[in-house]
Amino acid sequence: MGTFTPSAKVVNRQWHIIDADGLVLGRIATQAARLLQGKHKAEWTPFLDRGDHVIIVNAATVKLTGKKEDQKLYRYHSGYEGGLREERAKIVRQKDSRRIVEEAVRGMLPKTKLGTAMYGKLKVYAKGDHPHAAQQPRKLEVA
């Protein structure tokens, strides 16, 4: 009797919604990354994208613990010599509050083409409304 390997053709994807209002960033990000990878399913396979879609609302009110608001740095590079740019979390939150949540989840996914496909199923919104009501997302409680 051989080992069961699920097919990439038959994938049952669900939609989950996480309300990030007042919750800690790391707890939201780990739960979202787990859902995007499909690790909560019995038929999880490391080399297939069998994860679900995740919607995160109220990203603007996510909590950062400790002194991370003033000390955490977000770095990006323009590609030119001396083009390294750094911004504190406080400034990033003012410019685009969704970026904090997106980068936290992105960092917990695989750094491959598969991880890029998983990241494509993440939708983050700064406020409480979203345009995905037709998909009938299930509300998910994060401890």
Q: How confident is the model over 27-56, as pLDDT tens digits? A: 999 999 999 999 999 889 899 999 999 999
Identify which of 18, 15, 14 has the alpha carbon closest to the alpha carbon of residue 56: 18
Q: For 111-122, how does the pLDDT look when each residue is reduced to its tens digit (9 = 90+)?
A: 999 999 999 999
The conformation of residue 24, written as its DSSP 8-state character, comes to B
- pLDDT for position 6: 84
Contact 121, 51 (CB under 8 A): yes
Q: For 79-135, how does the pLDDT look when each residue is reduced to its tens digit (9 = 90+)?
A: 999 999 999 999 999 999 999 999 999 999 999 999 999 999 999 999 999 999 999
The CA distances from residue 138 to 5, 65, 75, 96, 101, in Å, are 27, 27, 34, 26, 20
Q: Across all residues in the chain, what is the average pLDDT?
A: 95
Contacts of residues 117-121 at CB distance under 8 Å and 24 or more positions apart, as own/partner, are: 117/49, 118/36, 118/37, 118/49, 118/51, 119/36, 121/13, 121/36, 121/51, 121/52, 121/53, 121/54
Q: Is the model's pLDDT at 74 over the cut of 80? A: yes
Q: Which CATH class is domain 15-64+95-140?
A: alpha beta
Q: Is the model's pLDDT at 10 over the cut of 90? A: no
